[in-house]
Amino acid sequence: SSCVPFPTNTTPIWCPANLEEGPGGGCFRCGGQFVVSLSDVTSDGPVVDLDMVHLAPGSWGLYFGNGDVTSARKEPVEALLRTGAQTLRYGGTFAWQDGYLWKTFRGPPE
């Protein structure tokens, strides 16, 4: 496999411009096969310490809604759509919006 630096703020991959230079910073586009394994064998060759690896599917495994690719995986979104779901909320809060008061959404006490 091979990896090349990926320019910041370009599509189709968003790579933030505020990443630190040097080890652990920057975005790379890689091709080929990437294998991670655990081994008791040590070598005198180069050592790479991985802090985090994020593996995501290519466009074949992402959901295209309205023609735009999202970061959502295709299988779970299609399963939700089969249930008739119209909205998907990713978390976070909407409680700080003007005019929102959770008590106004409650029904009468029963």
pLDDT per residue over 67-101, tens digit each? 665 667 888 888 888 898 777 666 656 566 666 66
- Asked if the structure places residue 96 within a domain, the reply is no
d(CA 29, CA 2): 8
* pLDDT, the chain, mean: 67
d(CA 96, CA 21): 36
Full domain range(s) for residue 77? 56-88
- Asked if the structure places residue 33 within a domain, the reply is yes
- Asked if the structure places residue 77 within a domain, the reply is yes
- Asked if the structure places residue 99 within a domain, the reply is no
CB 81 within 8 A of CB 72: no
Q: Which residues contact 3 (CB under 8 A, 6 or more apart)?
A: 28, 29, 30, 31
Residue with tokens 């593996």: 55
- Asked if the structure places residue 10 within a domain, the reply is yes
pTM: predicted TM-score of the whole model, two decimal places: 0.35
Percent of the chain with pLDDT over 70: 28
What domain count does the chain have?
2
Using only the alpha carbons of the chain, give its radius of gyration.
22
- Asked if the structure places residue 93 within a domain, the reply is no
pLDDT at residue 75, as a whole number: 85
